[in-house]
Chains A and B, each alone.
Chain A
């Protein structure tokens, strides 16, 4: 309404050559005030989120300060986590968080892309919905259930079959990556469970992005004589690339912060080992395990420092992801 009035007024002004201000009715003034209140309040809501984030950073940072001050840079590089002696170093947990998450992405990304391409390009319509629903349901399973499944199914499978198979039958044991005793609870177990957990995120986003690729893009490629595979490889996926990267980063976010299932499967050991068969630790598991019974102020502060580092790592990963998405979007 207001717009129309304003446009009419502008036309009138243009017609006469004299800039006249239309007389303003009370309704107009009222709606103008309404607009202003609306604009202020949504600005407030929008500001609330970054302020909250800042406050969280501050609160965690303040609580972490005594430990960070005591141990300095060695907090990030030391593997010594000894509450009795009061030495705390978070290197194994930082390493474990990053390695388990990357391992999860390494396994989940090709699978998720395959699922998404199948669903958007190949699946007959009657199959598309049920399979998509099933994959999405994976995201709805509570993580403690994944943990239990891991303990009772995945770990025995790894210990009795997969680990001996990789190490002895395929002779991959010569590599440090697949060396050492097969306990079951290991970095590999954590990576596998995380892969299953972040797969639905990656595949759901990718599927939507692929479906959003315009028909003309495909038709053009087909028109140039491309095969079905070439259409997907050269026309569809490059077009959807930034969206796919976004989906992968969303999955990575899930993997970095996951606590319960990983705690149940990773073996909770403060040690950096080259082998995927060795137990490890993640930052989230460390906090979950030790927070309720932290033995002293410094121990508590060290756990807060771990939380702070976790926050920084997720922040950093997010920033890199933004940059990647932005770069790929620009290239196109």
Chain B
């Protein structure tokens, strides 16, 4: 009957992706997996010389970089913002020349990549802001990590809870239920936020723990930064979390959060750069840049900050493409970084760029792995 078209339409998309995990016809299956993006080989413009896929959070600045870089050098780069998880999968299957992710790859994911060892290259910094809908409150709220954790665990359920009131003595908090809004989709934002909460809350780290998607014990789920924003804006008493660039562009109220030094710091590009600067001063000797900068030391640091990474193979078998990727990364780390703050991203600290230059030099281009 006419029932079938709905079922079929829903499942064709699903079916297209399925063969990827069951058998390994990599290009076509991975392409079909993301009708909107991914199919770089099929839908990408024929003159694009490099393809990348991954995180949506840095996509605006990456797109700007690629446009500027193409204008300058003529090298066109096709980037598909399909999400960090998708970027990692596509890089692992070697359907793209580079991946991008807001969450570092796990050792397990790295061991499964087909093209051998992977290098993480930090590009810019981002942060996650806690936003809320309290029409009565005009001054930014002050919150601590463990209070945020307990709100998202469902242990603090009223806005005038003594623990929130103790942090905001100057604010008359309403006797209103807290409506928790979290991401329903897996995302790098989730990873950064939960990674921070597991560091500052024993209860949160035992359950639900950290991940791109976790089992939230309470609240409403919404898809994407825009979904969370919409839900928070529409629900009096709601609290949610979104990325810094998104919060700034939409002028959302954001909470100042107490950092490791005991200071309440509002989210800003400077405060995020400060978080990275502390880490950059004492970089470990290894070139594995999977560094966490949540709850970083320093009086000025915003505690829910993170790098975002471009992922490349350490051995680039294709000499031509490999060289183009390296040239681009070098350009991005030098010229590209200067554009970051105008698009609400924090640039890397200078010490880090110097270290990354020497790391880029170790990537083998054109050598057989």
Which residues from chain A sit less than 8 Å from chain B, CB to CB?
A: 52-53, 55-56, 59-60, 62-66, 80-85, 151-152, 155-156, 159, 181, 183-185, 246, 249-250, 252-254, 256-257, 259, 263-264, 267-270, 279, 281, 284-285, 287-295, 297, 299-301, 304, 307, 310-311, 314-315, 317-318, 321-322
Contact = CB atoms under 8 A, between A and B. Distances in A.
Secondary structure call for the B interface: mixed
Interface string B204-223: 00001111111100011111
B12 interface: yes
A285 B235 CA distance: 21
A284 B10 contact: yes
Chain B contact-residue range equals 35 or more
A253 B223 contact: no
B223 A268 contact: yes
B19 interface: yes
B227 interface: yes
B220 A83 contact: no
Interface in B214-250: 214-215, 219-223, 227, 230-231, 234-235
B234 A84 contact: no
A89 to B, nearest CB: 11
B235 A300 contact: no
Contacts of A285: 184
A257 B6 contact: yes
A267 B214 CA distance: 16
A147 to B, nearest CB: 10
B159 to A, nearest CB: 14
B7 interface: yes
Nearest to B109: A296
Given A250-B2, A279-B220, A311 B7 contact: yes
Contacts of A310: 7, 10-11
B179 interface: yes
B181 to A, nearest CB: 9
Given A60-B18, A156-B234, A292-B82, A246 B1 contact: yes
Contact of A269 (B34, B220, B223): B220
Contacts of A60: 11, 14-15, 18
A184 B83 contact: no
B3 A293 contact: no
A156 B214 CA distance: 28
Nearest to B103: A295
Interface of B: 1-4, 6-12, 14-15, 17-19, 21-22, 34, 82-86, 177, 179, 184-187, 208-215, 219-223, 227, 230-231, 234-235
Given A184-B235, A307-B14, 5 more contacts: A62-B22, A84-B211, A294-B186, A310-B7, A322-B1
B18 A293 contact: no
Contact of A53 (B8, B34, B185): B8
Contacts of B3: 249-250, 252-253, 314, 317-318, 321
A235 B353 CA distance: 83
20 contacts: A63-B14, A63-B19, A83-B214, A84-B209, A85-B209, A184-B235, A246-B1, A250-B2, A253-B6, A253-B7, A257-B6, A289-B185, A289-B221, A292-B85, A293-B83, A293-B86, A294-B85, A307-B10, A310-B7, A317-B3
A185 B7 contact: no
Contacts of B212: 83, 293, 295
A59 B15 contact: yes
B12 A293 contact: no
A282 to B, nearest CB: 11
Contacts of A81: 215
A297 B106 CA distance: 14
Contact of B210 (A82, A84, A181, A297): A84
Given A83-B211, A257-B6, A311 B11 contact: yes
A56 B15 contact: yes
A285 B86 CA distance: 19
A63 B214 contact: no
Contacts of B211: 83-84, 295
A297 B92 CA distance: 13
